[in-house]
Structure formats: C-alpha cells, structure tokens
Amino acid sequence: MEAVHGHEHGHDHAHYPGGIMRWITTTNHKDIGTLYLWFSFAMFITGGLLALGIRAELFQPGMQVWRPEFFNQLTTMHGLIMVFGAIMPAFVGFANWQVPMMIGAPDMAFARMNNFSFWLLPPAALLLVVSFFVPGGATGAGWTLYAPLSVQQGMGMDMAIFAVHIMGASSIMGSINIITTILNMRAPGMTLMKMPLFVWTWLITAYLLIAVMPVLAGAVTMLLTDRHFDTHFFNAAGGGDPVLYQHVFWFFGHPEVYIMILPAFGIVSQVLPAFARKPLFGYSSMVYATASIAILSFIVWAHHMFTVGMPAAGQLFFMYATMLIAVPTGVKVFNWIATMWRGSMTFETPMLFSVGFLFVFTMGGFTGLILAITPVDIQLQDTYYVVAHFHYVLVAGSLFAIFSGIYFWLPKWTGHMYDETLGKWHFWLSIIFFNVTFFVMHFLGLAGMPRRVPDYAQQFADFNMIASIGAFGFGLTQLLFFYIVVKCIKGGEKAPAKPWEGADSLEWTLPSPAPYHSFETPPIVK
C-alpha cells in the first residue's frame, strides 16, 4: 500500500525498476491499467483467431477444415477467452486507468493487491490455451460448461475449471479494490452524485462481480468434485440433477452479461456529452437505471433455460421480469439520444464508435426482448438467432464501447493524438463487417440453423458464406486498430491537456500524458 501514501511534494519523474521488472513489480494504477489492456488485446486476438477457425469451417456446408470434436473446442474456447480474457479485463484496465483520475485519488486503495489481481490472469490464460494440446484437447462443453457433458470430458476440462477459479479470484480482488477506492478515496467535494457516470457504472459492476463470481466458483468447484471426488451434485445416477448446474451457472451468468455491458454504458455516457458539448441528460436517472438493471439481473436467470422443463408460472415470472429490464435500459437509450438532441455534435472516432454502439446495441437489445418471450424462445433456443443477439450486445455493445473509450482516452494516456483518418476507417470497416457477419445470423436462426454444429443443411449455405466473409473482414480490420494504437504510442501530434472541447471530468485537468503519479494532493471539487 506504499503508493497510497504518496509523498508530500509532487514530482513528475517516476521511480521504478527498468525493463520487465517494472511491469512485474508495478503497483501503479496506470501501469496496471496498461497491462490489463494489453492482456485483453492479446486475448482478443487469440479468441478472434478461434472465431475465424469456426467461420472457416462454416464457410461451406460439409466438413472441411476441422474434426467435429475440435470444432466444439473452438466454440467453447472462443466464448471463454472472449468473456473472461478479452472483455472483462479490458474494462478492468479502463477502471484502473480512469477511476483514480476521475475521482481525484492518487492511486487504487490496495496497490499491491492490484498487482496480484493482474498477474493472476496470464497463468489462467495459459491454462486455457495450453489445454488445446493435452490429451483429449480443450473442453468442448460450450462456454457455459454444462453438466453432464462437462463431468465427462478429459483433463482439458480440469484446466478450464482452474482457469475459471483463478480468473474469478482476480475479478473479486479487483472489484474489492475498485469499490474501496471509489467509496473511500474521492477528492473532497466529490459526492457520490457528482461522480462521472463511468465511475458509477463501475461501482455497481464491482458489486455485481463480488456477488456472482463466487457463485461461479462454487458451480465449477461442484463440477470438479463431481469429476474426481465422487460427489453427485449434477450426476443423475447418484441422485444429482444436471438442471441444477444450469440454475447455479445462470445465477452467475445473467449478472455476468451486465458486468460486461454496464462499464460500456459508463464509457458511452462520458463520450456522448463530450462530443455533443452538452451535459449528460438525466444524470440521476442514469444512476438509478444502472442500479435497477443490476438488481433485476438477479431475478431473470432462468430465461436462459426456458426449455429445460419449468412450470408455466415460472416461465411467466422470468419472462415478465426479463421484459422489465427493458424499462431502465430504455431510460438509458432515451437519455443518450436526448444528450445528443440539439447538441453541437462533431464526429471524431470516439463519438462514431459511441453512436455506432447506440445504434447497433439497441438492435441487440430488441432481439433480446424477442427472445424473452417464452413461446418464441422455445422456437429459437440454441439457434443462430441467439448467436446474433448476443454478438450484437457483446461485440457492438461492449467491444465498440471499449474502442470508443480507447480513442477517447488515448491522448490522455500517451500524450499523442491518434490518426483520426485511420480511426474513422477502423470504425466504418468494423461496423460494416460486423453487420455483414452477424446480421445474416438472424435469418439463419429464424430458419432453424442450430448453433455449435460444424456442418449444416444446404439451404443455409449462402448466409453462412456471407457471415464468414464478414468475420474475416472484421478480424483483419482489428490489425488496423493495432497499428493505430502503436502509432499513437510511438508519436504523433502532441495532445493538449483537454483534447476534447466538451469533456469535463477531472482527468482532463491533468497534463497529457497523465503524469506517473497524479492527484497526490487531492483536487477540490466544487
């Protein structure tokens, strides 16, 4: 906790060991944020390559590239790596960089624990990736690791279980850190209702993480003991119930999807007012809407399992509760649009990604509403319609918000402006290829193509070919993103302290690049 104390006198130069040891031993929130973001990018590329493996197989009907067992491993690992390796660490990276700067704190509350939280992740990622090469290969049970299949698979499954344990521990430690920082270390005058919305969404997300990551840890622990220690939680032969696994998993799983989207809402709520040059419309309703979404997320989990056998009363309850979530989400979308209404808008890359987010995420929200209708869901369960839905909210939702945030804060992080022309190319290529890939999946799902299957009937061939072309285009576009970021780190036009005219949170009062130690003397917020 050394970094918390800060020194009496401010200093711009940093004291840290050179080379790799700087990164291994660092307790600086900015360094750790950078580590999280690069780790997330590496996992994004890994998970993306697996996705391209899937799309290569599905380019044409028939078995072309992989054996069916390996195809299942691809879909499973793509899901696990993207959820736990790419999206979640990216948001934690943002939290590390931004939360202390936005509330006027010198660093995170527990700087050493922050370092542990990050360095738990690479071993977990290694377990997942290496599991492809053990006998039996990686787990192919789907990212949800449903029993009884997950009780039966080879040692790749054990590696996935341990990876989930480690990543869960990392998330819980990170969340404790974020909550403590936000609750105890705000600058004088920064009341809770004056915090930037990004900080609010992360506060609520961190509470969600603490509430549900342990439940996932419990679920996979039960899997592990079922596999090796003769317990029968999910083993029907011993009096267990595989459906129980689904209940426990989705009790974690549904809050988890909000864990992946609430910080995205936070980023968009910073970016839209900055480029519309107006304060965020309905700030307090945004806070309450975020909290409502978080609370409702605990009572809707069974809409993921309408087809497992549930009394009609249960189906109705989960259907209505799920639809209720559309109300606070609708409040948010309304407020974002009202923020832009009559604003002096300019469309730099962060704004493009945020407006793109708003447009495409809302489509994903509506397909979610359609899937919430029980009788419709029974028809669409486990089809490509579901795949289209959750990629609209996770790629166009979470990922586009991450891109938006990266472009928004890159000048503050690196001290250089990124290449605006290339940034715009990145946006337009991404959003076009995204829709080419995933829009057609709605049609495939409505026509009845099941997900997680390596081969398909002839009538699905055209749409699958289009989706595969889009996927490879989307993948290649992300190399452009890599180039833009590296170019921005290496140099470019010098960024002023506040490159965006309409931005008004505390981090913009610091010079660009942000000094290694910031706000050692807390700013006074009026």
Partner 1 sequence: MGLNTENARTLRKLAVVAVAMFGFGFALVPFYKKICEVTGLNDLQKADTVVNTQVDASRTVVLELDANTRNELPWAFRPTERSVKVHPGQLVQITYEVRNDSDEAVTGQAIPSYGPRLAEQYFRKLDCFCFAKQELKPREVRRMPVTFVVHPDLPSDVATVTLSYTFFRVEGPTKPAAARTDIGARPAS
Q: Which residues bind partner 1 (CB under 8 A)?
A: 1, 4, 65-67, 69-70, 73, 109-110, 132-133, 135-138, 140, 151-158, 172, 175-176, 179-180, 183-185, 210-219, 221-222, 227-228, 230, 233, 235-239, 241, 244, 247-248, 251-252, 309, 311
Question: Cα separation of 347 and 48, whole Å?
Answer: 28
Q: Is there a catalytic annotation at residue 332?
A: yes
Tokens matching residue 521: 């003397």
Tokens matching residue 349: 């890359």
Q: State the nearest-atom distance from the C-beta of 1 to partner 1, in Å.
A: 6
Which CB atom, from 222 or from 355, has the smaller least distance to partner 1? 222
Q: Is there a catalytic annotation at residue 78?
A: yes
Q: Is there a catalytic annotation at residue 329?
A: yes
What is the length of the chain?
526
Question: Cα separation of 245 and 328, whole Å?
Answer: 29
Query: Among 73, 174, 176, which Cα is nearest to 121's?
Result: 174
Q: Is there a catalytic annotation at residue 254?
A: yes
Active-site residue, selected from the candidate residues 171, 201, 437, 518: 171
Torsion of CA 335, 339, 341, 347, to 10 degrees: -120
∠ CA 473-85-287, rounded to 5° = 95
Active-site residue, selected from the candidate residues 165, 332, 389, 426: 332
Active-site residue, selected from the candidate residues 78, 165, 278, 391: 78
Q: Is there a catalytic annotation at residue 55?
A: no
Q: State the nearest-atom distance from the C-beta of 200 to partner 1, in Å.
A: 17
Active-site residue, selected from the candidate residues 36, 97, 143, 418: 143
Q: State the nearest-atom distance from the C-beta of 230 to partner 1, in Å.
A: 6
Question: Cα separation of 300 and 352, whole Å?
Answer: 32
Cα separation values, 257 from 88, 136, 391, Å: 10, 30, 12
Which CB atom, from 247 or from 424, has the smaller least distance to partner 1? 247
Q: Is there a catalytic annotation at residue 256?
A: yes
Query: Among 69, 81, 84, 77, which Cα is nearest to 135's?
Result: 69
Q: State the nearest-atom distance from the C-beta of 35 to partner 1, in Å.
A: 22
3-state helix, strand, coil in the chain (%, to 5): 75, 0, 25
Question: Cα separation of 50 and 79, whole Å?
Answer: 9
Query: Among 516, 498, 495, which Cα is nearest to 507's?
Result: 498
Cα-trace Rg, the chain: 23
Q: State the nearest-atom distance from the C-beta of 288 to partner 1, in Å.
A: 22
Active-site residue, selected from the candidate residues 165, 254, 278, 389: 254
Which CB atom, from 216 or from 267, has the smaller least distance to partner 1? 216
Active-site residue, selected from the candidate residues 269, 367, 414, 430: 269
Question: Cα separation of 108 and 101, whole Å?
Answer: 10
Q: Is there a catalytic annotation at residue 171?
A: yes
- φ, ψ for residue 196, nearest 5 deg: -60, 150
Q: State the nearest-atom distance from the C-beta of 289 to partner 1, in Å.
A: 24
Q: Is there a catalytic annotation at residue 107?
A: yes
Q: State the nearest-atom distance from the C-beta of 250 to partner 1, in Å.
A: 11
Long-range contacts of 358-362 (CB under 8 A, 24+ apart): 358/268, 358/272, 358/333, 360/392, 360/396, 360/397, 360/400, 360/431, 360/434, 360/435, 361/392, 361/393, 361/396, 361/397, 361/400, 362/333
Which CB atom, from 158 or from 377, has the smaller least distance to partner 1? 158
Question: Cα separation of 432 and 356, whole Å?
Answer: 10
Active-site residue, selected from the candidate residues 34, 181, 329, 430: 329
Tokens matching residue 137: 């290969």
Q: Is there a catalytic annotation at residue 112?
A: no
Which CB atom, from 204 or from 394, has the smaller least distance to partner 1? 204
Amino acid at 370: I
Active-site residue, selected from the candidate residues 232, 247, 451, 487: 451
Query: Among 468, 301, 464, which Cα is nearest to 384's?
Result: 464
Q: State the nearest-atom distance from the C-beta of 241 to partner 1, in Å.
A: 7
Which CB atom, from 134 or from 479, has the smaller least distance to partner 1? 134
Question: Cα separation of 405 and 336, whole Å?
Answer: 16
Query: Among 108, 76, 79, 82, which Cα is nearest to 95's?
Result: 108
Which CB atom, from 100 or from 470, has the smaller least distance to partner 1? 100
Which CB atom, from 78 or from 278, has the smaller least distance to partner 1? 78
Q: State the nearest-atom distance from the C-beta of 13 to partner 1, in Å.
A: 25
Q: Is there a catalytic annotation at residue 304?
A: yes
Which CB atom, from 198 or from 234, has the smaller least distance to partner 1? 234
Active site residues: 78, 107, 143, 170-171, 254, 256, 258, 269, 303-304, 329, 332, 451
